[in-house]
Amino acid sequence: MTDSLKRAKLVPELVVADLATSLRFWVDLIGFRIAYDRPENGFAYLDRDGAQVMLDQYNPSARHWLTGPMERPLGRGINLQIEVAAVEPVLERLDAAGWPLFMTVEDAWYRAGPIEVGQRQFLVQDPDGYLLRLGARLGERPASGRA
């Protein structure tokens, strides 16, 4: 790991079908950078302003901690929330690449105690079906009292 990278306390490791395909999505479209990799092992550690993820190419003869068969879409039941400064540059890259969105951009407000926290967000699936929710902060406001 590079000295300039501060490792996050929680870093998901995603098993992927093809590392090169996944890197094109995660790096070129979503905007992550490769912090370090082990190409000989089909592994890359990615970072985007402190949001981090590990990609590990599936190899039937390698050690993977799998709890079931590798069937797409992978990661069912989870979405990875990634905070970005603005969603528009990512949306433009996805659109230019013809990459479909799982959910179009929206402004959403979530109650957090006495306040609501807002974010502009959208959802997209990576090449293996992992669901990413990218969001940019809109600020805070008093809670509306709605449940």
Q: Residue 8: what residue type? A: A
Query: Per-residue b/e over 74-101, b at no fewer than 16 CB within 10 Å?
Result: bbeeeebebebeebeebbeebeeeebee
Tell me the CA distances in angstroms from 30 to 99, 110, 111, one per residue in order: 11, 24, 27
Q: Per residue in 58-69, pLDDT tens?
A: 988 877 788 888
Q: Per residue in 5-52, pLDDT tens?
A: 899 999 999 999 999 999 999 999 999 999 999 999 999 999 999 999
| Separation CA 86–CA 65 (nearest Å) | 35
pLDDT at 145: 67
pLDDT at 138: 98
Q: How far is CA 137 from the centre of its chain?
A: 16
Q: Read off the tokens for 98.
A: 């013809």
pLDDT at 32: 98
* DSSP-H helix ranges across 1-147: 19-23, 88-96
Q: Per residue in 114-145, pLDDT tens?
A: 999 999 999 999 999 999 999 999 999 999 86
Q: Residue 123: what residue type? A: L
| pLDDT (mean) for 86-105 | 98
Q: Per residue in 33-45, pLDDT tens?
A: 999 999 999 999 9
pLDDT at 5: 87
52 neighbors 1 (Cβ within 8 angstroms): no
pLDDT at 146: 60
Listed by start position, the domains of the chain span: 13-59+75-142
pLDDT at 64: 77
Query: CATH code for 13-59+75-142?
Result: 3.10.180.10
| Separation CA 18–CA 77 (nearest Å) | 22
